[in-house]
A and B are shown apart, each in its own frame.
Chain A
Amino acid sequence: MGKVLMKGNEALAEAAIIGGCKFFFGYPITPQNEIPEYMAKRLPEVGGTFVQAESEVSAINMVYGAAGAGARVMTSSSSPGISLKQEGISYIAGAELPCVIVNMVRGGPGLGNIAPAQSDYFQATKGGGHGDYRVIVFGPASVQELVDITMEAFEIADRYRNPVMILGDGILGQMMEPVEFKTTEIRSAPEKPWATTGARGRQRNIINSLYIIPEDLEQFCQKLQDKYEAVAKREKRYESYFADDAEIIFAAYGSTARICKAVVDQARQEGIKAGLIRPISLWPFPDEPFRRAGEYAKAFLAVEMSTGQMVEDVRLAVNGHKPVYFYGRTGGMIPAKSQLYEEMKKILEGGNQ
């Protein structure tokens, strides 16, 4: 199968369909409208259903219903809309339901703007909604990676009966890149004996997150924790780019990581031992490569399109062994390669930025 030039949002939607998505519920918000629009046209072609909901709140609850009924289902939105979905996401996790949620991150807080950002990392990885739960979060850095991860996302969601979030910065959704769909055969959902289909010939199934007795709720939360431990064992992903012998290691994900790669390339050309560790799974966070690098590198520089969110997880992983610096632009501003290069030089020349 050859490569096709596609816009990130549309490629993601096609990948979701190949991944088995048969139901999409969403609401328009910039910069992800191409996703519902693509789904509206394409889902009926594969026997699926698209519904434009009246709000992001309604959409996530439609997802909750469809997921509980056994379907592979997705919603997408952007930052303020994802805020609206938090209660629903908590319910989905609490009822142990699978689904895929896409966030094409824009400037915040509040209405912010429609320019790209990475300022929803906390929201995605540290909760967002109430209660002791986790969302499995991926931060792709190219349209190809967006496609590959989305194709797999429904299977991961089904495997763990948990929401999976694809955190794209707004650049990723809008950019066009050549992309290859490694398979075009549409995957089907597995049998789900726990789903509601009408209790013909079996005990009734109840989709629920209410455990009114404290002992029961604690036991359930522990069950979720055990599940998350299993996820952490298996789903941590990252890319190491010239980091094995690096003195200064960039930590970045998504589009920001691509800029950092360009800085690493330039640095290496000039004999500077720079490298990049690029988390691909944001939860579970790939702490191990950072911990190892903390033994030999001199310093880390986390770069984000935010005022500093992922950097906290880098610091946790490095655990005080080496300094972790931060450089960020926010509000839709994109870090410039030259500026990052300067920051790197300042660190290497000793002392704080």
Chain B
Amino acid sequence: MKTVFKRPQTMTEKQMHYCPGCTHGVIHRLAAEVIDELDIQDKTIGIAPVGCAVFAYDYWDLDMHQAAHGRAPAVATGIKRVHPDNVVFTYQGDGDLAAIGTAEIVHAAARGEKVTVLFVNNTIYGMTGGQLAPTTLVGQKSTTTPFGRDENHSGYPVKMTEMLSVLDGVSYAARVSVHNPANILKAKKAIKKAFKAQINKDGFSIVEILSTCPTNWGISPIEAVKWLEKNMIPYFPLGEFKVPEEVAR
């Protein structure tokens, strides 16, 4: 028998600290698999956010920066301008990217910075204990919307990938999910396309990855992937919102 599946080379052996069933671990692995397959481990520089994934620098065998909350796209800009031939990617949650970091993501995208953004959307603030996120669904409970998000009070969830896809500097923008193996494999394809858009110097690339947070949603991991499929996908549709021009032709 030969091994057909094992830990990718770009992942370290360190046990990840995420909650049982949290799909951060899946997404970390997909990124590592893509980096292995594109053979870019020795020239990739990653940026860890503030959020549950703050320790991401422990899980990838890559040069990494830990960035201030929301600022990863600006940090990525600094790195990529210094090392234009390296591959630079950020890994950010919904608070990091869509709340405090909204200006940085919009302008890195608008400038067409040739970096790749992995945007993990689990509709809640994980690390800080389950508060409202910009992506929390109407009616969804969080510790700061204990009665369920009321659109009259707290507005509506933001659709970042759609918003960013209208910018000319964006070459690849897609939304995927990791709630079951079939979607995980599709997510990996999108992540690979995003890194390729950078390598081919097409422009800014972003993959929004719908993800679960069993702990702060207050349900089991199996219930959580079902909740994602039933509630998140209707509001955050999956698909490619922008692809590099050659592909489109």
Partner-contacting stretch, out of A194-202, A243-251, A306-314: A194-202
> What residues of B have a CB within 8 angstroms of the CB of A197 in the complex?
45, 63, 83, 86
Q: Is B52 an interface residue (CB 8 A)?
A: no
CA distance A288 to B74 in the complex (A): 42
Q: Which of A53, A54, A64, A206 contacts B64 (CB 8 A)?
A: A206
CB distance from A190 to the nearest CB of B (A): 15
Which chain A residue lies CB-closest to B43? Answer: A198
Pairwise interchain contact A69-B107, C-beta atoms closer than 8 A: no
Partner-contacting stretch, out of A12-20, A114-122, A207-215: A207-215
CB distance from B101 to the nearest CB of A (A): 10
List which A30-66 residues lie within 8 A (CB) of chain B. 49, 51, 53-55, 57-59, 61-66
> What residues of B have a CB within 8 angstroms of the CB of A210 in the complex?
54-55, 66
List which A213-246 residues lie within 8 A (CB) of chain B. none
> What residues of B have a CB within 8 angstroms of the CB of A66 in the complex?
78-79, 81-82
Q: Is B75 an interface residue (CB 8 A)?
A: yes
CA distance A59 to B78 in the complex (A): 9
CB distance from A83 to the nearest CB of B (A): 15
CA distance A55 to B76 in the complex (A): 15
Pairwise interchain contact A65-B104, C-beta atoms closer than 8 A: no
List which A145-201 residues lie within 8 A (CB) of chain B. 196-201
| Known contacts A70-B82, A208-B57: A88-B71 contact under CB 8 Å | yes
Q: Is A204 an interface residue (CB 8 A)?
A: yes
We find that the number of chain B residues with CB closer than 8 angstroms to chain A is 33
Q: Is B62 an interface residue (CB 8 A)?
A: yes
CB distance from A99 to the nearest CB of B (A): 10
Q: Is B116 an interface residue (CB 8 A)?
A: no
Pairwise interchain contact A51-B63, C-beta atoms closer than 8 A: no
CA distance A209 to B68 in the complex (A): 10
| Known contacts A51-B81, A58-B104, A69-B83: A196-B75 contact under CB 8 Å | no
Q: Which of A55, A62, A201, A208 contacts B66 (CB 8 A)?
A: A208
Q: Is B167 an interface residue (CB 8 A)?
A: no
Pairwise interchain contact A71-B64, C-beta atoms closer than 8 A: no
Q: Is A283 an interface residue (CB 8 A)?
A: no
Pairwise interchain contact A198-B44, C-beta atoms closer than 8 A: yes
Q: Is B158 an interface residue (CB 8 A)?
A: no
In this complex, which of B42, B54, B76, B106 has the most chain A Cβ atoms within 10 angstroms of its Cβ? B42
List which B39-65 residues lie within 8 A (CB) of chain A. 41-45, 47, 54-55, 57, 61-65
Pairwise interchain contact B64-A207, C-beta atoms closer than 8 A: yes
Pairwise interchain contact A71-B82, C-beta atoms closer than 8 A: yes
Q: Which of A57, A69, A91, A200 contacts B82 (CB 8 A)?
A: A69
Q: Is A87 an interface residue (CB 8 A)?
A: yes
16 interchain pairs, CB-CB under 8 A: A49-B81, A54-B103, A57-B103, A64-B67, A65-B79, A70-B82, A196-B83, A197-B63, A198-B44, A198-B83, A201-B42, A206-B63, A206-B65, A207-B65, A208-B66, A210-B66
Interface residues in chain B, defined as those with a beta carbon under 8 Å from any beta carbon in chain A: 41-45, 47, 54-55, 57, 61-68, 71, 74-79, 81-83, 86, 103-104, 106-107, 111
Q: Closest 10 interchain pairs by CB?
A: A65-B78, A66-B78, A65-B75, A61-B74, A196-B63, A198-B43, A61-B71, A62-B78, A200-B42, A54-B107
